[in-house]
Amino acid sequence: MKSPNLSSTRSDEMTQQEERMEDTEATAEDDNYFDSYEDIEIHRLMLKDVPRTEAYQKAILGNKQLFEGKVVMDIGAGTGILSLFCAQAGAAKVYAVEASRLANLTREVVAKNGFSHVIEVVHGKAEEIDLPEGVQVDVIVSEWMGFYLLHESMLESVLLARDKHLKPDGVMLPSKATLFAAACRLGEFYSQQVDFWNHLYGLDLSPVGQAVLDSKRCKPEVAIVKADELLSEPVQLADFDLAWLGPDEIERIHSRAFTSVLCDQPTEYQGVCLWFDCSFEWPDRIPCTPVKLSTSPSSAATHWKQTIIVLPSSIQVEEGDLIGWELTLKRSMEHRRRYQIELNLLDPEEDEHPVPCSCGQARCVVIAAFMAKADEEPLPDDDVDVSTGPSSVVS
């Protein structure tokens, strides 16, 4: 199954007029994006998300010794909550960077809490602003994650700001982010949006339910998936170290995977579920209390929920069945804050497996064991000529 791209492919060759039009469209898209964050309701929903906000609070206030006397940049400060946490932790200076006009309200919040002497609200894009006298910061904190981690593409701004403003030995919070996928069934979704149409007032309206499924081929579903609806172990799609990640590395995420179905009884495979985890840690040499924020179905629900790629029809599966997919998240060339998501279902018997592969198939188990053994064997000593036998030690 191949989901249609969310936007059309365009040529790399553009006239000057097309380039100017694209720049104008990109600017308009950015303006609309930042304008949307002037809606207070968005911030209420984010602050109402306890697992999200408490993860940042624990990471900052639970490691006060690592903030005391430090210079911090908060990217996408919003109402200023993370900047206030940093000030409470003893930061000497906090630059609260907010690109929307909400920055004026942020200043009021900072003053209301008595931290105007520590927190300086800066209105602008973090990657474009200049700090006084070219100062660099010790810590960058930001809540940049979107649905399926990458939606809205705020991460690029954070990485560019890191390269411009963070000291060489500075720290990024969160420090790491990992994207996962797993097969799932969709009981609630099917019950409310698909099967609902089967029998209404003595009539069969099931074509409407099929139309709902067809519509989901162009847009993923954001919803809560229950832990007992997962049908496989998580497959890691991407693992980002924010200290070293390059902007080019988030242009395209690709994964080819096979996995075994986990279920107590025969059931229906109806979608692929995406979620992410973020960790807040300092480099190994610095003692800290690490914190993890998870948006998995097994964790407390967050405003991100899970992102579901709904299959065009249900597939009957049972315990131990092998399933596979090829999943690509590609940043749209036309709408840079969006990603095109493409899912292809693979045949475990016919399609090539990645190496190594953890699907459990006999051939893949043998290959994985061989590779593990090879990794454990020591490399030949530099002074030994392995081509002429055991007695060829070079003097």
The CA-based diameter of the chain, rounded to the nearest angstrom, is 93
- Among 55, 60, 63, 58, residue whose Cα is nearest residue 287: 63
Q: From CA 25, how far away is CA 33, in angstroms rounded?
A: 12
**Nearest-CA neighbor of 274 among 249, 243, 305?**
305
Q: Rounded CA gap, 290 and 191, in Å?
A: 40
Q: How far apart are CA 148 and CA 133, in angstroms?
A: 38
Q: Which of 22, 29, 120, 152 is catalytic?
A: 152
Could you tell me where the DSSP H helices lie in the chain? Answer: 16-36, 40-48, 50-61, 81-88, 103-112, 154-165, 187-189, 206-215, 362-376
Strands annotated E in 281-378: 291-294, 306-317, 322-331, 339-346
143 is catalytic: yes
CA distances to 193, 221, 343 from 269, in Å: 17, 16, 14
Helix (H, G, I), strand (E, B) or coil at 233: coil
Contacts of 372 (CB under 8 A, 6+ apart): none
Tokens of residue 1, six digits: 């199954």
Could you tell me which residues come within 8 angstroms of residue 358 by beta carbon, excluding any fewer than 6 positions away? 259, 364, 368
Taking the CB of residue 210, how many other CB atoms lie within 10 A of it? 13
Q: Are 181 and 234 in contact (CB under 8 A)?
A: yes
What DSSP designation does 244 have? Answer: T
Are 76 and 154 spatial neighbours (Cβ–Cβ below 8 Å)? yes
Which of 217, 174, 207 has its CA nearest to residue 63?
A: 174
Q: Choose the catalytic residue: 143, 156, 221, 229.
A: 143
273 bridge partner residues: 182, 308
With residue 123 as reference, give the H or E element that holds it.
strand 119-123
Catalytic positions, written as ranges: 143, 152
